[in-house]
Amino acid sequence: MKVVIIYGNHTGGSTEHCVSIVKNVLASFGECSFTEFFLPTDLPVICRGCFRCFEDGEETCPDARLVQPIVSAMREADGLIFASPVYACEVSGAMKTLFDHLCYIWMTHRPMEEMFSKVGMVISVTAGAGTVTSIRTMEKNFRYWGVKRTIGFGAAVQAMSWNEVASAKKTKLEAKLTRKASRFYRMMELRYTLRPMIFQRIMFKLLGKMIQGYEPGSRLSRDQNYWRDKGWFNGKSPFMRGARE
């Protein structure tokens, strides 16, 4: 299995330790390759809001050289793991920066066909509070990218570093993460046969109608052409691909 892991920080702390538990479990089931990106190290620039990805194509983003290697790795993967510490009761700014850079792959614009047969896992690590909101943020992005199913996991470590985490807490975390990781591996195996979520199917239909209705020469005509070229205005859908394989 090919797994892309995105870390919302680069501290060598509890977030990385939680992911390493998951990696060990996944590797115990079969051959797994992990492609990892650490934020902000691998993407140290915020989205400037220039709209070029939407209007002129993602390759014209001033930060494409940093963003596109992440997108390519995600395209190739069977599963995606996003893990973020909680900062200010949300995902880290570094993680949010990646989400901002990837707005063009939302279903509202030009979703990647490959996403519709992928599964995801999101992990939120906090000292005390904020995992619910952070998990929701990561899951929402996955859902609008087309990811079929996502498992969420929140860890309240009550510590500022992994060394300070109580050993009883570590044992509990390891047991819970092992269960979640096992389920994630199983979902990767079943990714082509899992039923798409009703929400995504309805959303895809509604958005198709909206995008098809754009005026000729609209600033979002790239999105409209993309959907037309895929045949998505004429009954084709990215969900069919998953069902066939």
Ligand X SMILES: Cc1cc2nc3c(=O)[nH]c(=O)nc-3n(C[C@H](O)[C@H](O)[C@H](O)COP(=O)(O)O)c2cc1C
Residues binding ligand X (CB under 6 A): 9, 11, 13-15, 85-89, 125-130, 157, 160
Of 107 and 157, which has the nearer Cβ to ligand X?
A: 157
Of 11 and 212, which has the nearer Cβ to ligand X?
A: 11
E strands, the chain, in order:
2-7, 33-38, 79-87, 90-91, 119-126, 149-156
Q: Rounded to whole angstroms, how far apart are CA atoms 211 and 114? A: 20
Of 88 and 168, which has the nearer Cβ to ligand X?
A: 88
Cβ of residue 130: shortest distance to ligand X, in angstroms?
A: 5
Cβ of residue 134: shortest distance to ligand X, in angstroms?
A: 9
DSSP notation for 72-140: HHHHH-SEEEEEEEEETTEE-HHHHHHHHHTGGGSTTS---GGGGG-EEEEEEEESSS-HHHHHHHHHH
Strand partners, 154: 124
Other residues' Cβ atoms within 10 Å of the Cβ of residue 1: 18
Tell which residue, 175, 136, 184, has the closest CA to residue 18: 175
Of 14 and 200, which has the nearer Cβ to ligand X?
A: 14
Of 92 and 117, which has the nearer Cβ to ligand X?
A: 92
Cβ of residue 128: shortest distance to ligand X, in angstroms?
A: 4
> Which residue is closest to ligand X by CB?
13
Cβ of residue 93: shortest distance to ligand X, in angstroms?
A: 9
Cβ of residue 40: shortest distance to ligand X, in angstroms?
A: 13
